[in-house]
Structure formats: structure tokens, C-alpha cells
A and B are shown apart, each in its own frame.
Chain A
Amino acid sequence: MRTALIVDDSAVIRKVARRILETANLQVSDAEDGETALALCMAEMPDVILLDWTMPKMDGYEFLKALRASPGGGQPKVLFCTTENDVGAIARALHGGADEYIMKPFDRDILMTKLEQVGLGREAHAA
């Protein structure tokens, strides 16, 4: 089974995202800050990470930098989530190693098409 990690300091977002990802057949874990998330990744790299940008204790950018620099850290697809609707922020995230972005508040449809875009769509989890 494919695995997903949700990294967000909002419990509400974690809950909503978890529900959507679970219906997409992913096994979900979550973390409320970058530090905890990084520890989880070191134990086992997930297939996809839904990453909030602004968090206390290691923000999304720092997390991503640390993740990509660690062994096996290039493997997870990172969907970076932002409320900033700023093309500069998106460009920075892509530059920092994110694969895709999602603007908050996101809905099921968008999350599903983004998963498909990074190769974790319907075909992928049927396999």
C-alpha cells in the first residue's frame, strides 16, 4: 500500500486531508511540524508528502531542504500547500524541491488531480 504523510500545524487540515487521502487508498500518517515529520521520514520514507509551508518549529522550506539532503529523501513526491497565492512562493517551493503545489483551502477533486499529476493517481494505487 502506498503511504502518505501530512505535515501541517492545523489539526483541521490534517483531518480533512487524511480523510481524502484515505479514500484514495493511501496509508496516512501525520505530523504537526517539520521536525516530527523529518523523524517520521527517517524511519520510513512515505510515497507522498502533503507539506504546509508555515509551521512553528521547522517550517516547510527547512523541512524540504533537510529531507532532500537526507538518504532516500529524494524519493517522496512533495505537494506543497499554501494559502499564499503568490507565484513567487510557488516558484521558491519548486526550486526547493517540491513536485507540485496546492492552494488552500483545497478540495477533494484538486487533491486527487494533483496526486495523479505526481503519478499517484488511480492507476498507481490499483497496482
Chain B
Amino acid sequence: MSDVAFDFLRVYLKERSGLALGPEKLYLIESRLGPVCRRFGLASLADLCTALRMHRAGVEQAVVEAMTTNETFFFRDRVPFDMFRDVLLPRAITARAGTRRLRIWSAASSSGQEPYSLAMLLREAAPRLAGWHVEIVATDLSTEMLEKAKAGLYSHFEVQRGLPAQLLVKHFTQVGDRWRIDPGLGGMIDFRQLNLLQPFDQLGAFDIVFCRNVLIYFDMATKSDVLHRIAKSLAPDGAVLLGAAETVIGLTDALVPDGGHRGLYRKGVVASPAFQAAPLRAAV
């Protein structure tokens, strides 16, 4: 690949999806965009660049989606989901007892395993949430991933990764060689296409945000911008969960680590010590 094509694609991808690619990732461009070239009948990456410059229909989305990493699985890393069930949900049930409304955002939901994992936990907690209005908003840049998530069909491989057997038996039915998740769980989730580089305040305020394993692909400035805006979309006593390799430290003061819970963040308040000393649920 020519340097010109690489530079063009690098800048292009960074602008469109935030993807930060160093020269060591050259191979990724070649291996992932080759198939896109073939699909659109383009002879080379140089031709692909031309097609992008001329805004040929469908090429932009195909290029951006081909370059995203969609790796995900049910209850990924387990701890954040334990924390959701054991810390955040009990907290919210107390803090939101007045309004009985709870809004959760899965900000890079990929093929749906993350929001469905949350939906399964909420279903288990249903007796404590009777009469509540609980909403999960799941967004991703990739329309292909969103379609897959909405379909709720998973392979043997996918349902074995992280999903406890009890939950498989309880919430999935077998369809040929795949597994369909209970459409009732899908009904709890509002799937929407969203690029995190673009404004998302139209989604409204959230109590709990899962933004996991997406910031790692962005450069520092983009990470800090996205985190800053997530903080703005967060209820005053809301919580944010990041991926195992992600942090807010050095990126924004708008979010700060929450006590001893690894990967859990709350709104940073330039507040009096009295406020900081107060436990979260008292802040409502």
C-alpha cells in the first residue's frame, strides 16, 4: 500500500469513527479493507480512497464498519456485571424509589451481548423492580452489529462465552444451529445507531452507563472529549463503567473513580468536603 493511501485512510478513519491507527497497524487496513474493495469492485486501496473522496454510496459505512473491532461476549469480565447487580442496582433502587425510573446506556453495544447481559440481570431482579420503568438504550456505530443485536441470534460459540448455563437454559431457545434470546429481553432494549464522536445529548440523561472497550481505539483527545460528554449525560449520582484497559485518569476531571470499585466512575464534583463525604444515595 502506498503511503498516500495509508495517510488518507488513517486521517479518514480518525475523523469518521475516532479510530487511531499507528503505522504498525498497516496490516489491519490491508486485511480488513481488501474484502471491501472486492465487494465494490475496486482494484486497489488507492481506488478505494478515490471512491471515498467521491462519496460513492455505501463505501464510507462499509470502510468504517470493516475497521471496527466488534469482539464482545456475554457478561464480559464478569466483575462489572456483578457490580451492576450487587452495587449499582441496589443503590438505584434506593435512590430512584421516588421516580421509579432507571435509564441505562450501553454505549458501544456491538452484537448485543452487553445490553442483553444487563437485561438478564434486570429480569432476575424483576420482583424488586415491579412498577418501575427501566430502559436500556444500546448504541453502536455499526449498523451491521446493531442488526445482529436486534435479531438476538447467537452461535454455539457465542453462547458459551461468559453466559452461565442456567441463563442459557432460561432465556434462550434453539433455532437450528443457533440460539435465540428471549424476544422479551430484546423488548427491554432500545437499539439505536450512534457515533460517539457526534453529539448524543438527544438520548437524554442516564443513571448507569456501560462504555466498555471502545475508548481504547481512540486517541487521547477523542477519549477525553467522549468521557466529558458522557459525564454531561450522567445523572448527578450516576455511574459509569469502563473497560478493563480504560480509565478517566489524565483524560477528564468530569468523572472520578468511585471508591474501591475498579472500573467504576462517578461524576467528579468540585464540591465541599461535606458533599464528597456523603454516600452516593444520600446525594439525591
Contacts and interface: CB of A to CB of B under 8 A. Distances in A.
A87 B164 contact: no
A98 B161 contact: no
Interface string B138-180: 0000000000000000001100111011101100111001010
Contact of B162 (A90, A102, A106, A117): A117
Which size bracket describes the interface of B in this complex? 10 to 19
Contact of B169 (A94, A102, A106): A94
Contact of B165 (A86, A101, A110, A116): A101
Given A85-B156, A103-B156, A90 B161 contact: no
A113 B166 CA distance: 15
A114 B174 contact: no
Interface in B182-226: none
Contact of B164 (A102, A110, A117): A117
A47 interface: no
Contacts of A94: 165-166, 169
Contacts of A91: 169
B160 A110 contact: yes
Contacts of B172: 87
Nearest to A80: B165
Nearest to B169: A91
Given A85-B156, A85-B174, A85-B177, A113 B161 contact: yes
B78 interface: yes
A100 B73 CA distance: 17
Contacts of A100: 164-165
Nearest to A118: B164
A60 B162 CA distance: 24
Contacts of B162: 113, 117
A74 to B, nearest CB: 17
Contact of B168 (A90, A98, A106, A109): A90
B165 A87 contact: no
A106 B160 CA distance: 10
Nearest to B178: A85
A98 B165 contact: yes
Nearest to B164: A117
Given A87-B174, A100-B164, A110 B169 contact: no
Contacts of B179: 87
Contacts of A116: 78
Interface in B225-275: none
A98 B40 CA distance: 50
A116 to B, nearest CB: 7
A117 B160 CA distance: 11
Interface in B79-116: none
A92 to B, nearest CB: 10
Contact of B174 (A86, A110, A117): A86
A108 to B, nearest CB: 12
A85 B174 CA distance: 9
Interface of B: 73, 78, 156-157, 160-162, 164-166, 168-169, 172-174, 177, 179
14 contacts: A85-B156, A85-B174, A87-B173, A87-B179, A98-B165, A99-B165, A100-B165, A101-B165, A101-B168, A110-B157, A110-B161, A116-B78, A117-B78, A117-B162
Please list the 8 inter-chain residue pairs (A to B) with the smallest Cβ-Cβ separation, ordered nearest first: A91-B169, A101-B165, A100-B165, A87-B174, A110-B160, A103-B156, A90-B169, A113-B162
